[in-house]
Structure 1
């Protein structure tokens, strides 16, 4: 996604405690022209959400301090239910997936995932807004 003179630059918050995954996603999305706010745990994610309103949130489920479900719930109840949230998880347990969707998740991706798949999902959600 190249940014043209009058095109909007989208901001994406990534909450992920696995440093390598966070770095890889941040790099890939920045390369596509997105502004990235990176949080390495749930506490940092919630602190970032109090000062920045992203256009989309990507959150891992299992993180220190606050889970991805808590981040998801904060975004949907305290910020705007219109902000798309993509949940990442190494656990594909049906109960976990259903809980995420019941809290308002817009999408769910299982780890390991392809960076191209995440970019494609991000674009789909931002274009449908």
Structure 2
């Protein structure tokens, strides 16, 4: 787990990235950090809900496939916890309609299929944060 921030502290807000693929996590942290977001990264589904509580982010970017627990399970627990109203952008490489439907039924705010453009990701996070 990497809790170190990236980007300027005075940026638009805090993002918690929950993604186990290191190269994808690095790219997302770079894109969002360059846009001014304070980004913390977490790599494990089992402890992800605790990371949401610890970081109290403005937006969560959550991968569907994670070690320990799926992003669906993480989302379901987050929606029952103290940060239930945090916007959650779910990411997946599969992009099947059933995955999108399940994510939205569990309370995802937005669903995005990999690969996506840097601009699309930055715009989605900004929109979700209302900034």
Interval containing the TM-score (normalised by the shorter chain): 0.7 to 0.9
Q: Which has the higher helix share?
A: 1
Pick from 100, 110, 115 the counterpart of residue 103 of structure 2: 100
For 1:67, the equivalent position in structure 2 comes to 70
For 1:114, the equivalent position in structure 2 comes to 117
The 8 Å contact of residues 11 and 36 in structure 2, kept in 1 or not, is answered as no
SS in 1 for 2:81: helix
Shift of 1:44: 4.2
Q: Map of 1:1-129 to 2, 5 A cutoff?
A: 9-127=12-130
SS in 2 for 1:72: helix
Cα deviation 1:46-101 (Å, max 9, x = unaligned): 33123221111001101100111122112211133321000000111111111100
Q: 5+ residue gaps in structure 1? A: none
The 8 Å contact of residues 81 and 104 in structure 1, kept in 2 or not, is answered as no
Q: 5+ residue gaps in structure 2? A: 1-7
Q: Which one is further off, 104-113 or 76-85?
A: 76-85
Shift of 1:13: 0.5
The 8 Å contact of residues 87 and 108 in structure 2, kept in 1 or not, is answered as yes
SS in 1 for 2:79: helix
Number of aligned positions between the proteins: 125
TM-score by length of 2: 0.85
Q: What stretches of structure 1 move > 6 A for 4+ residues in a row?
A: none
